[in-house]
Structure 1
Amino acid sequence: MSDLSRTTYSDVAGGDTRVHEHLSDRAFLAAILEFERALADAAAEAGHISPESAQAARDAIDAHQLDVTAIAAASAAGGNPAIPLVAALKEQAADTAGIHVGATSQDAVDTALVLCVRRAVRELDGQLSDVETLLADLAATHRDSPVMGRTLGQQALPTTFGLIAGGWLEAVRESARQLGLAAEALPVQYAGATGNLVATHPHGIDVHDRLARHLRLADRPLVWHTNRLPLVSVGLATAQVAGAVRKIAGDIIVSSATEIAELAEATPGGSSSMPHKANPAAAVACDGYARRTPGLAATLLDTLDCRWQRGTGSWHAEWQTIRDLLAATASAVARLHASLDGIRVHTDTMAQRTADRATGHAAEITDLILEGETRD
């Protein structure tokens, strides 16, 4: 369990750890090694180092045994894990010319973080698609099921449960789409100590673009050491996903209240002291995970304040924040899936409160939402 994103309880209690495995410290450090290996290849292809130096670098990287605890302890001196990791590789390499060619530590850390985020988002996207399927089924099944609409905490006019589920679907679908676009746009970082590729001149831009191709990352912006918009965009999109699923969880919680009893989770949670209770435990957990995300997103917004050519603390604040944000969101999505899977919809109870009044265009609107069901 040590190779999950944060703590055993937080990750495992979410019920699905596939996203979290891409966000662990081990995955992060392994991605730094992946960056270094691809950089040696790119530099050799561009003619900046010899094939022999590149091979020596590959041999050292492939032979390196990651010791997460040791690297963490050694990171204190320089403030980031790339410094001791590169030093260890140079000690192992028969020829050091192909290690960390023209790079700065931020190049390695940023690119590693991008690789971890991309992989986590792709895994999360599959889980969101499963949630969308459950929501689409609910919307289609209950296209004509009347239910009392509620506004400002009070009963309003009738609508259909299909339209309510369709609204949930629309928000999840769009937030997932935005997250996917932001993640796929993430670029490689390789610009050297002050962002001008001076150490690899005149091959620097060629090395950069080859590195991007090796890692299958975007090659622009060319330098984003202090332009943190790429990662912040992913973070904000992630928080939108969390907000979309939290809204659904909140609706399930209030609709499961004893006095309303219109929804019930298939496997509700119990109480340590009140055996009569059937709590919407999965929805409650979803709410709890998602509730952490606005603060984490705000921290990422604060990291946009990067001074001069390297962030002083602002950059360092990103590494754990964006991984925590993705982990919390993934757990929220997993708990929402558990809440929706097999959820019991008490249509008789819903219908009793509508007194056979019209539901307007609810069914037709639901159909329009379902027509746009599939994401590219």
Structure 2
Amino acid sequence: MANSSQNTSPSDSSLPNGRTSLTQVDPPIALGPLDGRYQPQTAPLTDYLSEAALNRDRVHVEVEWFIYLCRNGVLPGLEPLSEAQEADLRAIVTNFDGESISELAEIEAVTVHDVKAVEYFIGNRLEALGLARLKPLVHFGCTSEDINNLSYAVGIRDAVTNVWLPAARELVDGVSDLASSARDMPMMSRTHGQPATPTTLGKEMAVLAFRLQRQIKHVENQEFLGKINGATGTYAAHYASAPQVDWQEVSRGFVEHLGLTWNPLTTQIESHDWQAELYSSIAHFNRILHNLCTDIWSYISIGYFRQIPVAGATGSSTMPHKINPIRFENAEANLEISCSLLDTLGETLVTSRWQRDLTDSSSQRNIGVAFGHSILAISNVTKGLAWLDVAEEALAEDLDRNWEVLAEAIQMVMRAESIAGVDGMDNPYERLKDLTRGHRVDQARLIEFVSELGLSPEAEERLKNLTPATYNGIASRLVDYIR
């Protein structure tokens, strides 16, 4: 956001009603929130999914292809480079910086082609490295998509591995910790918003943790595919120039050298199916997390959770007693935006007209935005969970107000008694419905009802000792499934 130290001139005031134009402010103002207001939370993705990162990874792929061809003597006259020469080439990548970004932009302004600009960028450095003779080897046999698909795969893989997965695991650890600490804490369940068979708070949180863990496993097992096989996926130029080479084996070896899974059969483009699979898994994670947010929000609204005040923070602009659940509300919005983008990417990227169209080029430039909104939501929920305190007294009071939830237990005991041959257990559901529907029933009335049923002594004693707080089955033990 602009501040008083940013400079504008009177001539910039060209907007209606005398407002100042902000397009010339220095430093430039971000149009979107991910690079503006929320930049601190999303900044780690810049290293992998920004336009600059894509160009750096293009340089990386081109350099590694150059080295790989030399190291394996793929073409006549090619010999392995010295360790020093390989190091010098790789330094083009490790030294990629702001000046490199500007130089590439200047080259692209002439070529009007981003990948060709990368080829020239590398070629311009070969003479200083004593490799001018090998300038034709840069981008050898490649179509632009050979470089692009590998660069995107490397960037997305590293963003998932180094940014998204660690953030997702930290979040799930927080949910799991809450589940473990509250595993024995009785809580009223609600089905259709109404009091139902009790549970424990820990078990409810464990359900969400378990669901999120499953999606993390899907993401962890995701393949990241790549190809390098020419303009229509046929290796035509490769075999025309060097028919003696097993180009499929070279392609497979190079893709795997980059740490990717080789796709042997493509058109000009790698088909993006792996991307659609990945985005589906992340969107599914997002939706489960959205469910967690709405549940936590609802628990806050009925007093099950207190939000721990943050010193100096304002909860509401006009109502000082309130602490708004903004972390969870913010997360909901960002999860919805992330899912919309991920769904669109998954739907559009798997279709390309015949060999190639450029719809994927524009679409893929929004991958970082989709991940950014997911990361922002994960960050908010992680922080929000850390500032929750369980209001145990509210949980206990809610349970004590709803003794009628034991009607299910009484009914099932009556059914079991009937099967065991105890007389007088007819129509258990109907009898409990008459007792409880439309009325509030307290402990004394339930005990009186149980005493009149004619149950076996053991069953009667068991029901008389039952309370809403103890009627939660093995809920606490179920938490162990998240370990």
TM-score (norm 1): 0.86
SS of 2:261's partner is coil
Q: Distance in 2 between matches of 1:194 and 1:338?
A: 49
Indicate conservation of the 8 Å contact 1:5/1:25, yes or no: no
Question: In the alignment, what sits opposite 1:229?
Answer: 273
Paired AA for residue 53 in structure 2:
A
Indicate conservation of the 8 Å contact 2:279/2:342, yes or no: yes
How far did residue 166 of structure 1 move?
0.2
Which range moves more in the overlay, 170-179 or 208-217? 208-217
Which range moves more in the overlay, 77-86 or 339-348? 77-86
1:109 aligns with 2:142: no
Paired AA for residue 472 in structure 2:
T
| Cα distance change on mapping 1:230 and 1:144 into 2, 3 Å | same
Which range moves more in the overlay, 223-232 or 59-68? 59-68
Structural mapping, 1:66-215, within 5 Å:
67-68=100-101, 71=104, 81-93=114-126, 94=132, 95-123=134-162, 124-182=164-222, 185-201=223-239, 202-215=245-258
Paired AA for residue 364 in structure 1:
R
Q: State the Cα deviation string for residues 114-165 of structure 1 (Å, max 9, x = none).
A: 1111111112212222222222221121112111212333333321101111
Question: In the alignment, what sits opposite 1:281?
Answer: 326
| Cα distance change on mapping 1:265 and 1:24 into 2, 3 Å | farther
Q: Distance in 1 between matches of 2:360 and 2:188?
A: 49
| Cα distance change on mapping 1:41 and 1:82 into 2, 3 Å | same
| Cα distance change on mapping 1:347 and 1:106 into 2, 3 Å | same
Q: Distance in 1 between matches of 2:105 and 2:288?
A: 35
1:29 aligns with 2:55: yes
How far did residue 210 of structure 1 move?
2.5
Question: In the alignment, what sits opposite 1:363?
Answer: 476
Q: State the Cα deviation string for residues 346-365 of structure 1 (Å, max 9, x = none).
A: 11101211124111332232
Paired AA for residue 326 in structure 1:
F
Q: Distance in 2 between matches of 1:171 and 1:89?
A: 46
Q: Distance in 1 between matches of 2:236 and 2:43?
A: 42
SS of 1:196's partner is coil
How far did residue 47 of structure 1 move?
2.1
How far did residue 176 of structure 1 move?
0.9
Please identify the structure whose Cα radius of gyration is greater: 2
Question: In the alignment, what sits opposite 1:262?
Answer: 304
How far did residue 298 of structure 1 move?
2.4
Indicate conservation of the 8 Å contact 1:188/1:218, yes or no: yes
Percent of residue pairs bearing the same amino acid type: 20
How far did residue 89 of structure 1 move?
2.5
Indicate conservation of the 8 Å contact 1:198/1:204, yes or no: no
Paired AA for residue 31 in structure 1:
D
Paired AA for residue 231 in structure 1:
Q
Paired AA for residue 244 in structure 1:
I
The partner residue of 1:10 within 38, 41, 64 is 38
Indicate conservation of the 8 Å contact 1:235/1:325, yes or no: no
Paired AA for residue 10 in structure 1:
Y
Indicate conservation of the 8 Å contact 1:60/1:92, yes or no: no
Q: State the Cα deviation string for residues 24-60 of structure 1 (Å, max 9, x = none).
A: 2222211111101111122123323423789599279
Indicate conservation of the 8 Å contact 1:148/1:157, yes or no: yes
Q: State the Cα deviation string for residues 5-32 of structure 1 (Å, max 9, x = none).
A: 95132332xx464344322222221111
How far did residue 294 of structure 1 move?
2.4
SS of 1:159's partner is strand
| Cα distance change on mapping 1:284 and 1:80 into 2, 3 Å | farther
Q: State the Cα deviation string for residues 228-250 of structure 1 (Å, max 9, x = none).
A: 20111111111112112222122
- Say what the alpha-carbon RMSD is for the aligned residues: 3.0
**Structure ranking higher on relative contact order (CA contacts 8 Å, 6+ apart):** 1
Unaligned runs of 5+ in 1: none
Q: Distance in 1 between matches of 2:65 and 2:187?
A: 59
Q: Distance in 2 between matches of 1:144 and 1:52?
A: 65
Question: In the alignment, what sits opposite 2:460?
Answer: none
How far did residue 320 of structure 1 move?
2.0
Q: State the Cα deviation string for residues 182-223 of structure 1 (Å, max 9, x = none).
A: 2xx102231111111222223422321232232111123453
1:58 aligns with 2:89: yes
Q: Distance in 2 between matches of 1:232 and 1:73?
A: 34
| Cα distance change on mapping 1:36 and 1:226 into 2, 3 Å | closer
Paired AA for residue 227 in structure 1:
S
Structural mapping, 1:322-337, within 5 Å:
322-337=367-382
TM-score (norm 2): 0.68
Q: Distance in 1 between matches of 2:385 and 2:112?
A: 44
Q: State the Cα deviation string for residues 246-268 of structure 1 (Å, max 9, x = none).
A: 221221112112xx111133356
Question: In the alignment, what sits opposite 1:45?
Answer: 71
Aligned pairs, number: 363
Indicate conservation of the 8 Å contact 1:249/1:286, yes or no: yes
Q: Distance in 1 between matches of 2:322 and 2:389?
A: 16
